[in-house]
Amino acid sequence: MSVLLQDQVICLIGASSGIGAAIAHALYRHGGKVAIGARRLNKLTELVQECTQKYPDSNGSLFPLECDVTSRESVQNFCEQTCKHFDVCSIDTVINCAGVMYFTKMKNAVMDQWDQTIDVNCRGATNCMGAVLPQMVQAKKGKVISITSDAGVRDFPNLAVYCASKRFVETLTEITRRELVGTGVTLHTIQPGDVKGTELIMKNTDMEAAETMGVSIGKPVGEGFTREQLLDPSDVADAVLTILKAPPHVAINSILIEPRDQE
């Protein structure tokens, strides 16, 4: 039984599938008190059952709660309910894993998908920071970890809006990190390359963009991919643990983690 995260109160948003679900497993396994949020409450409830069955010896705790990261009120409520549930004034760590990704060619103007990308990926990030930073600064401790993407530091054609949204979070994080130096509050990003088996591209519709990228529409990431080697969601969960395990004088500000054979 691991006690690495014992007494750590963690908010994890975007936990209902893929990478977020793998992070929830890791945090629970290591004894964290974790509020798990997303829009699909049924998936969160299933995740609680899965984790409690898989790690019967864990002294962790999972608290499933609906949360829409695009809504300021919803994120505020999620964080407040977490504090109430675990009886604390401030959250130790917030992990924002909520995200959408649509392959689109700019000339095809799939503007609803662009709007959603900006709402979830960018507004989601500011909503998370706004909900916790004042209390964290007062408590003189806290970590905000955003799951961005290698698309936040590289430019991929057919993903212009997505890359820009992830770069937004990278910039937001770096400037906030620098503003908060000395307060005890730290901000981090994890920038994964392609991670297999997640639902991220299930709702794509721009066939031309998808074909150019060699991806299958409506299937989990990796299916029909020519390159065999992809990251597993648990690899990203391990990167989260690496940040959380660092000694107090160390800040692992960002982790770029890609499949070995990704160009």
Ligand X SMILES: N[C@@H](C=O)C(=O)O
Of 122, 195, 215, 240, the one binding ligand NDP by CB under 6 A: 195
* Contact characters 145-184, ligand X, x per CB under 6 A: ----xxx----x--x-------------------------
18: contact with ligand NDP by CB under 6 A: yes
190: contact with ligand X by CB under 6 A: no
158: contact with ligand NDP by CB under 6 A: no
Assess contact for 121 and 63: CB atoms under 8 A: no
Provide the token pair at 147. Answer: 């799951």
What does 238 interact with, of ligand X, ligand NDP, none (CB < 5 to 8 A by kind)? Answer: none
Provide the token pair at 102. Answer: 């649509």
193: contact with ligand X by CB under 6 A: yes
At 217, give phi and psi (nearest 5°).
Answer: -80, 145
70: contact with ligand NDP by CB under 6 A: yes
Provide the token pair at 248. Answer: 């107090």
Tell me whether residue 156 or residue 179 sits nearer to ligand X (CB atom).
156
Which residues, in sequence order, are bridge partners of residue 192? 257
Assess contact for 127 and 75: CB atoms under 8 A: yes
* Contact characters 226-255, ligand X, x per CB under 6 A: ------------------------------
Assess contact for 193 and 92: CB atoms under 8 A: no
Calpha distance 254→166 (Å, rounded): 13
Q: CA-based angle 84:1:144, to the nearest 5?
A: 45
Can you give the C-alpha Rg of the chain in angstroms?
Answer: 18
Of 9, 67, 122, 125, the one binding ligand NDP by CB under 6 A: 67
CB of 14 to ligand NDP, least distance (A): 4
243: contact with ligand NDP by CB under 6 A: no
259: contact with ligand NDP by CB under 6 A: no
Stretch touching ligand NDP by CB under 6 A, among 137-145, 170-178, 194-202, 253-261: 194-202
CB of 93 to ligand X, least distance (A): 22
